[in-house]
Amino acid sequence: MRDALRKAAVSGQFYPATCSEISKLIADFNTVLDKIDIDKTLLSIHPKAIIVPHAGYIYSGFTANMAYRFLEKTKAKRIVIIGPSHHHYFKGISASHFENYETPCGNIDIDNPYLFALAKEFNIGFEPEAHLKEHSTEVQMPFIKHYFPTTKIIELIYGDIEVKTLSSILSALLNNPDNLVVISTDLSHFHSLGTAKKLDYACLKAVEVLNTNEFKKGCEACGGIGIQALILTANKLKLSSKLLDYRTSADVSGDKSSVVGYMSAMFY
């Protein structure tokens, strides 16, 4: 018998363990964001999907929060969070068959009726080991609970899967106006700052021009399958893209010898 609750696995590690701390951190991010001169034409955009990082909030939280601020304006019945498996190898894609997802600010309901229908249509299985400790999706949940306190979610984690297969699922998800999609990925890992920026540029350029050929020029994103699948889907559905933020861990740590890259973007 499956568990009803997906327990938080990285609370107190990747993000604060208490709701008050999370709320304060997001408020701090927004204080800084509100001082940035953002193109007014962007403020009217209602994204259908975003790309966000999944590192510790002190490193990538601002970058992720910027995307969620844009996503907040949308009204959707459910949010689908998609990330790569870091701890468990498997082929295909796995759906989170729990009832609720734990966060420090309260549990989030999982939309199981929709999930079961999607799983049946696309032959999506359930790999429990892929979900129990996966941080790529879990770190998104406190943001979602903060900005969408009553919205239901679906969590999908992919392993060894073809880009076109994931793109087919994304097309079905984004054709439904009730859905918002969150693609979770970090960029290059543990290169010098100069090298990281060169590699990450391929990721940024691919998203900016919606061309997977640019991605293949050096992008080392751990969630690269998700990025490429969303680019293919955006072209199919005639969506536009907008890069929102890019930075590296060096912006916080000051260590330029071994950095991780982070970006956020929206598709509309």
Task: Give the CA distances from residue 27 to residues 4, 13, 32, 180, in Å, rounded to whole numbers and listed in that order.
Answer: 31, 19, 9, 23
Q: Do β-strands 241-248 and 78-84 pair in parallel, antiparallel, or remain unpaired?
A: unpaired
Q: What is the pTM of this model?
A: 0.97
Find out whether 95 and 118 touch, Cβ atoms under 8 Å.
yes
Main-chain phi, psi angles of 35, to 5 degrees:
-90, -5
Q: Supply the DSSP string of 137-168, one letter for each residue.
A: HHTTHHHHHHH-TT-EEEEEEE-B--HHHHHH
User: C-alpha angle 10/108/60, rounded to 5°?
Assistant: 40
Please count the structural domains in the chain: 1
Within a 10 A sphere around the Cβ of 241, how many other Cβ atoms?
19
Alpha helical stretches, state H, 72-127: 112-122
> Which CATH number covers residue 194?
3.40.830.10
Going residue by residue through the chain (268 aa), what tens digit of pLDDT does each one get?
Answer: 457 999 999 999 999 999 999 999 999 999 999 999 888 888 889 999 999 999 999 999 999 999 999 999 898 899 999 999 999 999 999 999 999 999 999 999 999 999 999 999 999 999 999 999 999 999 999 999 999 999 999 999 999 999 999 999 999 999 999 999 999 999 999 999 999 999 999 999 999 999 999 999 999 999 999 999 999 999 999 999 999 999 999 999 999 999 999 999 999 9
State the DSSP H helix or E strand holding residue 242, giving kind and residue range, or none if neither: strand 241-248
Q: Which of 183, 147, 186 is CA-nearest to residue 59?
A: 186
Main-chain phi, psi angles of 19, to 5 degrees:
-65, -40
Domain span at residue 244 reads 5-267
Find out whether 124 and 74 touch, Cβ atoms under 8 Å.
no
